[in-house]
Amino acid sequence: MITAEVIKDLNSSDLSFVSGSLQAVAQKVLPPEKADAQSLIFVSKKEQLESALQAQAPIIVAHKALQLPADSKTTFFQAANVQLAMAAILPLFDGKMNRFNQETKIHPTAFVHPTAHLGKNVGVGPFAVIGEHVKIGDGCTIGAHTVVEYYAEIGDHTILHPQVFVGASCTLGSYCEIHPHTTIGADGFSFAMTKEGTHKKIPQIGRVVIGNHVEIGANCAIDRAALTETRIGNGTKMDNFCHVAHNVIIGDNCVMAAGFKVAGSSTVGNNCMIGGDAAISDHVNVGDKVILAGRSGVTNDVTKPGAYGGYPLEPLRDSLKTLANKAHLTRIRKDLSRVMKHLGLNEEE
């Protein structure tokens, strides 16, 4: 249950109070088409606003371009960017921290090595394991069955969801969030072939270094470097089922959709956006401000900012044309065969 006054007190630059009672209460947040008399509604279109008003939603956050009724009992907020307004307000309704059993800061079934250092107000869930000489910053939350191996470091106010693995000597910054079943610091995939055709493992003795304000989705794998560091820069966000191989360096404020994969020793610059199932080959450099469409395949360096897609990789506009042309290839081949037959030519000629 959240009041309009609490929302107003957020003092967010992305949100402004317009009118109505500050005592208005919203029990939940719903999309406009499911609005009811207990919900807060975000609207960016006229028809969405009409639906929310008809449902008598107590609090509406509307795009500033919409004209709001003057005689409504609803409490109104306006936003230049509705998504940024959602980012400001929705944490008030987010109850996921309840899963961590905060009533007991260190659960009795958790194992914390005597040499580990835990900061202030750290929560450790059931059956979690904190190894020797681990450093965990203030306000961190360590979920159930999570493992943090020896000499790893976790920055302030970072959340490790249940069943996360952080390998030895790896470092995570502050205000990060790592979702369930993600592995940080598994061995990189590196083997040397013998004369007999067997494979001998090359030990991976590096680590993973993750910056501040990084979010990594569920079921991701970030491999430790062979000798030095695999790095993920500040503010980067990674969706579920992503894989980052050994020695990879990813810059600041990048966004990667589900299924993204990058092979060993490649680099991704700052402020890049990468679509689902895109793949970057090994020893490839992708520069700053590059956009890769979903299912792109990158096998050579991308040095200029811009949008790209396809495999082989092309500028996005060309890639879309190539994709559209593929639908006509069968017909073109048949037409060409008929032309050659009409001219009395053999395909071998």
What residue type is assigned to position 168 of the chain? A
163 and 45 within one domain? no
**What pairs with residue 201 in β-bridges?**
191
Q: Residues 255-292, buried b or exposed e (16+ Cβ, 10 A)?
A: bbbbbbbbbbbbbbbbbbbbbbebbbeeebbbbbebbb
CA–CA separation, 221 and 262 (whole Å): 11
State which of 39, 61, 94 marks the end of a domain: 94
302 and 171 within one domain? yes
128 and 24 within one domain? no
pTM tops 0.85, yes or no:
yes
188 and 141 within one domain? yes
Give pLDDT tens digits for 272-305: 999 999 999 999 999 999 999 999 999 999 999 9
CA–CA separation, 140 and 100 (whole Å): 11
Q: Quick one: pLDDT at residue 165? A: 98
Q: Among residues of the chain, what percentage have pLDDT more than 90?
A: 91
Q: Would you say residue 35 lies in a domain?
A: yes
Question: What string of DSSP letters covers 174-189?
Answer: TT-EE-TT-EEEEPP-
Q: Would you say residue 328 lies in a domain?
A: no
Q: Would you say residue 281 lies in a domain?
A: yes
Max mean pLDDT range (68-72, 128-132, 330-334)? 128-132
Q: Would you say residue 131 lies in a domain?
A: yes
What residue type is assigned to position 45 of the chain? K
pLDDT of residue 96 exceeding 90: no
Domain count, the chain: 2
State which of 71, 94, 117 marks the end of a domain: 94
What residue type is assigned to position 338 of the chain? R
Is-catalytic flag, 246? yes
Catalytic residue among 246, 283, 328, 342: 246
pLDDT of residue 98 exceeding 90: no
* Domain extent at residue 82: 2-94
Q: Quick one: pLDDT at residue 139? A: 94
Start-end of H helices in the chain? 4-8, 46-54, 82-89, 316-326, 329-342
Q: Would you say residue 16 lies in a domain?
A: yes
Whichever domain contains 75, its CATH number is 3.40.1390.10
318 and 179 within one domain? yes
Whichever domain contains 162, its CATH number is 2.160.10.10
Contacts of 323 (CB under 8 A, 6+ apart): 309, 310
Give pLDDT tens digits for 231-268: 999 999 999 999 999 999 999 999 999 999 999 999 99
Tokens found for residue 328: 């006509």
Give pLDDT tens digits for 78-94: 999 999 999 999 999 98
Contacts of 58 (CB under 8 A, 6+ apart): 4, 24, 25, 26, 37, 38, 39, 40, 74, 75
Query: Which of 170, 280, 301, 296 is closest to 224 using CA atoms?
Result: 170
User: Is the distance from CB of 161 to CB of 176 less than 8 angstroms?
Assistant: no
Q: What is the mean pLDDT of the chain?
A: 95
Q: Quick one: pLDDT at residue 150? A: 97
CA–CA separation, 208 and 246 (whole Å): 9
146 and 69 within one domain? no
pLDDT of residue 209 exceeding 70: yes
265 and 137 within one domain? yes
Q: Would you say residue 345 lies in a domain?
A: no
User: Is the distance from CB of 142 to CB of 166 less than 8 angstroms?
Assistant: no
Query: What's the rounded mean pLDDT across residues 143-168?
Result: 97
147 and 286 within one domain? yes
Q: Residues 80-107, buried b or exposed e (16+ Cβ, 10 A)?
A: eebeebbebbeeeeeeeeeebbeeeeeb
Q: Quick one: pLDDT at residue 348? A: 63
pLDDT of residue 103 exceeding 60: no
Tokens found for residue 54: 């008809």
The pLDDT confidence band at residue 346, using thresholds 50, 70 and 90, is: confident
State which of 94, 128, 161 marks the end of a domain: 94
